[in-house]
Amino acid sequence: MSKLKVKYACQDCGHESAKWLGRCPGCGAWNTLVEELAARKEPRGAFFTGGVAAKPMPITKVDTASFPRMATGLKEFDRVLGGGIVPGAMVLIGGDPGIGKSTLLLQAACSISGQYGQVLYVSGEESAAQTRMRAERVNRLHDNMLIMTETNLESIIQSAAHVKPSLLVIDSIQTMYSPEIPSAPGSVGQVRDCTAKLLRLAKERDIPIAIIGHVTKDGNIAGPRLLEHMVDVVLYFEGERNYAFRVLRAMKNRFGSTSESGIFAMEEEGLAEVKNPSGILLSERPEGAPGSVVLASMEGVRPLLIEIQALVSTTCFGMPRRTAVGFDYNRLILLLAVLEKRVGQMLANQDCYVNAVGGIKVSEPAADLPVALAIASSYRNMPLDAKTVVVGEVGLTGEVRMVSRIEERIGEAVNLGFRRFVIPSGNAAAFKGKRAGLEIIGVASVQEAMEAVFV
Q: Which residues bind ligand TYD (CB under 6 A)?
A: 95, 97-103, 134, 137-138, 266, 268-270
For residues 410 and 387, is the Cβ–Cβ distance under 8 A? Answer: no
Asked if 212 and 93 touch (Cβ cutoff 8 Å), the reply is yes
To ligand TYD, the closest distance from the beta carbon of 24 in angstroms equals 28
Kindly tell me which of 100 and 359 has the beta carbon lying closer to ligand TYD.
100
Choose among ligand TYD, Mg ion, none what residue 95 binds, the Cβ cut-off being 5 to 8 Å by kind: ligand TYD
98 binds, among ligand TYD, Mg ion, none (CB under 5 to 8 A by kind): ligand TYD
Residue 96: what are its φ and ψ, rounded to 5°? -60, 155
Please state, in angstroms and rounded to a whole number, the distance separating the CA atoms of residues 209 and 198: 8
Distance CA 274, CA 270 (A): 13
Q: Cβ closer to ligand TYD: 10 or 266?
A: 266
3-state secondary structure of 428: helix
Q: In 38-136, at which residue ranges do the beta strands (DSSP E only) sit?
A: 90-95, 119-123
> CA-CA distance, 443 to 455, in Å (whole number)?
15
Instruction: Give the residue with the Cβ less far from ligand TYD, 138 or 188.
Output: 138
- Residue 13 to residue 368: CA distance in whole angstroms: 32
Burial class of 339 by CB neighbour count within 10 A (0 to 12, 13 to 18, 19+): buried
| Span of 94-102, 108-116, 155-163, 313-321 interacting with Mg ion by CB under 5 A | 94-102
CB of 166 to ligand TYD, least distance (A): 21
Instruction: Tell me how far CA of residue 376 lies from CA of 280, 327, 343, 386, 394, in angstroms.
Output: 26, 17, 10, 16, 14
Pick what 103 binds: ligand TYD, Mg ion, none; C-beta below 5 to 8 Å, kind-dependent: ligand TYD
Q: Which residue lies nearest Mg ion, judged by its C-beta?
A: 102
- Residue 137 touches which of Mg ion, ligand TYD, none (Cβ within 5-8 Å per kind): ligand TYD
* Contact call for residue 123 and Mg ion (CB under 5 A): no
CB 192 within 8 A of CB 233: no
User: How many other β-carbons are positioned within 10 Å of the β-carbon of residue 426?
Assistant: 16
Q: How far is the CB of 157 from ligand TYD (least distance, A)?
A: 23
Binding-residue total with Mg ion (CB under 5 A): 1
| CB 138 to Mg ion: min, Å | 13
Choose from Mg ion, ligand TYD, none: what does 269 bind? Cβ within 5-8 Å by kind: ligand TYD
Smaller CB distance to ligand TYD: residue 97 or 288? 97
- Report the nearest approach of Mg ion to the CB of residue 101 (Å): 5
Q: Which is nearer to ligand TYD, 133 or 333 (CB)?
A: 133
- Give yes or no for a contact between 243 and 105, defined as CB atoms under 8 angstroms apart: no
Smallest distance, ligand TYD to C-beta of residue 99, A: 4
439-443 and 16-17 beta bridge pairing? unpaired
Closer residue to Mg ion (CB): 235 or 356:
235
H or E segment and range at residue 21: none
**Preceding omega of 172 cis (within 30 degrees of 0):** yes
Q: Name the binder of 51 from ligand TYD, Mg ion, none, CB < 5-8 A by kind.
A: none
Nearer CB in complex with ligand TYD: 267/439: 267
Which is closer to ligand TYD, CB of 112 or CB of 372? 112
Q: Which does 99 bind (CB under 5 to 8 A by kind): Mg ion, ligand TYD, none?
A: ligand TYD
**Tally of CA atoms within 13 A in the half-sphere of 76 that contains its CB:** 23
Shortest distance (Å) from residue 81 CB to Mg ion: 20
**What span, in angstroms and rounded, lies between the C-alpha atoms of 328 and 355?**
10
At its nearest, how many Å lie between Mg ion and the CB of residue 109?
Answer: 13
- Closer Cβ to Mg ion, 222 or 449, answer by number: 222
Phi, psi of 289, deg, nearest 5:
-90, 140
Rg (CA), the chain: 25
Which stretch in 96-104, 148-156, 198-206, 406-414 sits in contact with Mg ion by CB under 5 A? 96-104
Tell me how far, at minimum, the Cβ of 265 lies from ligand TYD, in Å.
Answer: 10
The nearer residue to ligand TYD, 138 or 446, going by C-beta atoms, is 138
What is the distance between the alpha carbons of residues 312 and 250, in angstroms, rounded to a whole number?
35
Q: Least CB distance from residue 135 to ligand TYD, whole Å?
A: 9
Residue selected from 102, 113, 190, 309 as contacting Mg ion according to rule CB under 5 A: 102
Task: Determine the length of the chain.
Answer: 455
SS3 382: coil
Binding site for Mg ion (CB under 5 A): 102
